[in-house]
A and B are shown apart, each in its own frame.
Chain A
Amino acid sequence: MDQEPAVRTEALTRVFEPKKKKEGSTVRALESVDLRIEQGELFGILGPNGAGKTTLLKILSTLLLPTSGKAYVAGLDVETQFNAVRQRINMVSGGEISGYGLLTVKENLWMFSQFYGIKSKVALQRIDDMLGEFGLLDKKDAKVRTLSTGQRQKMNVIRGFVTDPDIIFLDEPTLGLDVNASRVIRTYILDWLKDHPKKTVVLTTHYMAEADELCDRIAIIDNGRILACDSPERLKKMVRMNTTLSMDVTRLKDTAVFKTFPGVESFTFTEDGEKGLTKLRFVMRDESGVSDIVSAVLGQGSRIESLQKTEPTLEDVFIKMVGKGLE
């Protein structure tokens, strides 16, 4: 018998109507989304701001109702069986400074654990253990209002895991955090899944490397639609038959011209102001257009500092799917 998936959506659609006509037009945040996330998966939802990632997580975590379609978490309808869904889930949002500032870190975490019916003694031990793992043990008795943004974010991640949910929704959990804090959170997520192979993590991010490093499977979402859904490796294979070219050149006057070259599947660039370089990245159907690109660069009086053929990254997949980069 098939195991019940952790998450299943069928033609899930969410439309936001403006309050007044002059306040803008209708936004279709999710458009007929079909997803199936298996138990034990670390599933990533990758997309730019406004793609519909948070809306999807809000629906799955019973904060928001869909306009049409269905969503099931642990086999339960989020619309009608929300009480039962809530017993199995938790959610953490990044970039927020939530928490009761007048309470201590321990009190905050303990209080939420009590809402989930965890025995006080068990909860306190778990809180101590987790604070240790996140390097926050010395902040246990500090008021939440005295924590830095990163410390608050770590506390919130602990809040999500301390209730030992079957399925946890992490909405950009490392948003705005420094490298160390992000690494601590990513490591914890991986360790947690290793220790609890039946648990499921659904994570939204717009950090490619994070999605690549963590996720078993990734759904690429843009304008409310799932454009691709597979393992990072398989997604990368989709562009592996193409040629990926990275080129650092001195400042270019016109970059738009590269999009029109024959053979160029997708193209992005970033400016490195410090070094005075333009970093170009091409996904090409074949290598025939390389000479045209080189000529165009030199034709603008620019100098090529480096040129290399590279392995495709998740970003290349994303660019191919969405037609633009995240940054």
Chain B
Amino acid sequence: MAVMNDLRTIKNAAWLGWEMEANWADPFLFATYSIVKPISATLILVFMYMIVTGGNTDNAYFSYMYVGSALYMYIAEVLFGVTWIIHDDREHYMSLKQVYIAPIKFYAYILGRSAIKIAITTAGVIITLAFGVLALGVDISLWDVDWLLLLGSTALGMSCICVLGLALGGITFLTARHSIGINEGVAGVFYVMSGIIFPITALPTWAQSISKILPVTYWMDSMRRALMPDAMAELGSVAGVDVTGLSGISDLYIMVYLAISTAVFFALSMAVFKYADGVARRKGKIDWTSTY
């Protein structure tokens, strides 16, 4: 019964999320924005890369960078999105307290709103990857994709990102607009430490140790392995050097690590969320308006 209630909450929150995300403009403008925004964001990096390498996009590393940048959209959208959901509900729509006192689990509401962010971001990621393959020669072939690995790592990765968002959502209860800064900081850590646009072997040794704890590092690697197995194999043994720093690890190990770390992060995030929720109730922050 409780599970059914949670699923119903997730469904309704997702519906609300879709209405909020898709209704702010007419469908044509929304579609244009959905295509242009992710491609433009990725092109910034592409141009920087091309300037540095003298226009060379025909190598495995370009594909590595491009795919990482496209997938990072999930992290950015969900982590920023969760903060924005709470901030916007509380201070712009002034509806947070009404949702909060409803007989639902608030984290289910956040998960529902996040789910729709993931769905919309998925469209952006697919468009960006398709653009990369068709216009820039990114090394992804539908025939070579490891669909099972892709499915598994997508499911685990999305769960993991949502779980991280949940903890940040709890923190947002206690903060005003600067919670966006906190989330940017957290997303920034992943950007630098999780092999998003450069392999973790480019980091100092101490930083690599941190990278190897972060679940996002493994998610990125497994997604790349699934999407571009040839390029990843190439990067795994450039002149006998493991460029990615993870090529010696099996797919199974990565999936198990992702599953365990997601479970651990879930427990931690729930603890953070519940603690923050309690503090927010104690301090009267649920219907707080910071007027920022």
Interface stretch, picked from B13-21, B61-69, B143-151, is B13-21
Query: How far is A87 from B284 in the complex, measured between Cα atoms in Å?
Result: 21
Query: How far is A93 from B99 in the complex, measured between Cα atoms in Å?
Result: 13
Q: Closest A-chain residue to B11, C-beta based?
A: A114
On whether the beta carbons of B102 and A115 are closer than 8 Å, the reply is yes
Interface stretch, picked from B30-38, B44-52, B89-97, B228-236, is B89-97
Q: How far is the CB of B286 from the nearest CB of chain A, in Å?
A: 5
Q: How far is the CB of A292 from the nearest CB of chain B, in Å?
A: 49
| A83 contact set on B, CB distance < 8 A | 103
Q: Which residues, 76 to 122 on A, are CB-close (under 8 Å) to B?
A: 83, 86-87, 89-91, 93, 96-103, 107, 111-112, 114-117
Q: Tell me which of B16, B23, B101 contacts A86 (CB under 8 A).
A: B101
B59 located at the interface, meaning its Cβ lies under 8 Å from any Cβ of chain A in the complex? no
| B184 contact set on A, CB distance < 8 A | none
Q: Tell me which of A93, A99, A114 contacts B12 (CB under 8 A).
A: A114
Number of residues on chain B facing chain A (CB within 8 A): 27
Q: Tell me which of A65, A87, A101, A159 contacts B98 (CB under 8 A).
A: A159
Q: Closest A-chain residue to B99, C-beta based?
A: A115
Query: How far is A62 from B284 in the complex, measured between Cα atoms in Å?
Result: 10
On whether the beta carbons of B281 and A63 are closer than 8 Å, the reply is yes
| B19 contact set on A, CB distance < 8 A | 100, 102-103, 107
On whether the beta carbons of B101 and A111 are closer than 8 Å, the reply is no
Q: Mark B110-128, 1 if CB is under 8 A from A, else 0.
A: 0000000000000000000
Query: How far is A47 from B141 in the complex, measured between Cα atoms in Å?
Result: 71
Q: Closest A-chain residue to B96, C-beta based?
A: A98
| B95 contact set on A, CB distance < 8 A | 98-100
Q: Tell me which of B93, B103, B287 contacts A100 (CB under 8 A).
A: B93
| A159 contact set on B, CB distance < 8 A | 98
Q: Mark A184-210, 1 if CB is under 8 A from B, else 0.
A: 000000000000000000000000000
On whether the beta carbons of B98 and A100 are closer than 8 Å, the reply is no
On whether the beta carbons of A115 and B281 are closer than 8 Å, the reply is no
On whether the beta carbons of B104 and A100 are closer than 8 Å, the reply is no
Q: How far is the CB of B178 from the nearest CB of chain A, in Å?
A: 14
Interface centre among B5, B19, B98, B284 (most CB of A within 10 A): B98
Query: How far is A64 from B93 in the complex, measured between Cα atoms in Å?
Result: 20
Query: How far is A103 from B89 in the complex, measured between Cα atoms in Å?
Result: 13
A174 located at the interface, meaning its Cβ lies under 8 Å from any Cβ of chain B in the complex? no
A61 located at the interface, meaning its Cβ lies under 8 Å from any Cβ of chain B in the complex? yes
On whether the beta carbons of A63 and B20 are closer than 8 Å, the reply is no
| B9 contact set on A, CB distance < 8 A | 115
| A89 contact set on B, CB distance < 8 A | 101
Q: How far is the CB of B32 from the nearest CB of chain A, in Å?
A: 19
On whether the beta carbons of B94 and A98 are closer than 8 Å, the reply is yes
On whether the beta carbons of B5 and A58 are closer than 8 Å, the reply is no
Query: How far is A63 from B281 in the complex, measured between Cα atoms in Å?
Result: 6
| A102 contact set on B, CB distance < 8 A | 19-20, 23-24
A16 located at the interface, meaning its Cβ lies under 8 Å from any Cβ of chain B in the complex? yes
Query: How far is A87 from B104 in the complex, measured between Cα atoms in Å?
Result: 9
Given A102-B24, A107-B19 in contact, is the A64-B284 Cβ separation under 8 Å?
yes
Query: How far is A105 from B100 in the complex, measured between Cα atoms in Å?
Result: 20
B8 located at the interface, meaning its Cβ lies under 8 Å from any Cβ of chain A in the complex? yes
Query: How far is A102 from B98 in the complex, measured between Cα atoms in Å?
Result: 17
Query: How far is A114 from B103 in the complex, measured between Cα atoms in Å?
Result: 10
On whether the beta carbons of B287 and A86 are closer than 8 Å, the reply is no
| B278 contact set on A, CB distance < 8 A | 65
| B8 contact set on A, CB distance < 8 A | 114, 117
Q: Tell me which of B16, B281, B287 contacts A65 (CB under 8 A).
A: B281
Q: Which residues, 245 to 285 on B, are CB-close (under 8 Å) to A?
A: 278, 281-282, 284
Q: How far is the CB of B88 from the nearest CB of chain A, in Å?
A: 10
Q: Closest B-chain residue to A163, C-beta based?
A: B102
Q: Tell me which of A58, A61, A96, A115 contacts B103 (CB under 8 A).
A: A115
Q: Which residues, 54 to 72 on A, are CB-close (under 8 Å) to B?
A: 58, 61-65
Given A64-B286, A111-B12 in contact, is the A98-B100 Cβ separation under 8 Å?
no
| B16 contact set on A, CB distance < 8 A | 100, 103, 111
On whether the beta carbons of A91 and B93 are closer than 8 Å, the reply is no
Q: How far is the CB of A106 from the nearest CB of chain B, in Å?
A: 12
Given A89-B101, A100-B93 in contact, is the A111-B284 Cβ separation under 8 Å?
no
Q: Tell me which of B20, B24, B102, B287 contacts A112 (CB under 8 A).
A: B102
Interface centre among A62, A93, A111 (most CB of B within 10 A): A111
Q: Closest B-chain residue to A89, C-beta based?
A: B101
Q: How far is the CB of B116 from the nearest CB of chain A, in Å?
A: 14
Q: How far is the CB of B8 from the nearest CB of chain A, in Å?
A: 7
Q: Which residues, 218 to 252 on B, are CB-close (under 8 Å) to A?
A: none
Q: Mark B67-94, 1 if CB is under 8 A from A, else 0.
A: 0000000000000000000000000011
| A97 contact set on B, CB distance < 8 A | 94
Interface centre among B95, B97, B101 (most CB of A within 10 A): B101
Q: Closest A-chain residue to B286, C-beta based?
A: A63
Query: Which 10 A-B pairs have CB atoms at the shortest separation, nearest pair first?
Result: A98-B94, A115-B102, A87-B103, A86-B103, A102-B23, A114-B12, A65-B282, A65-B281, A64-B284, A98-B95
Q: Could you list some 21 contacts between A and B, CB below 8 A?
A: A63-B101, A64-B286, A65-B278, A65-B281, A65-B282, A89-B101, A91-B101, A98-B93, A98-B95, A99-B93, A99-B94, A100-B20, A100-B93, A101-B93, A103-B16, A103-B19, A103-B23, A111-B16, A115-B12, A117-B103, A159-B98
Chain A residues in contact with chain B, CB under 8 A? 16, 58, 61-65, 83, 86-87, 89-91, 93, 96-103, 107, 111-112, 114-117, 159
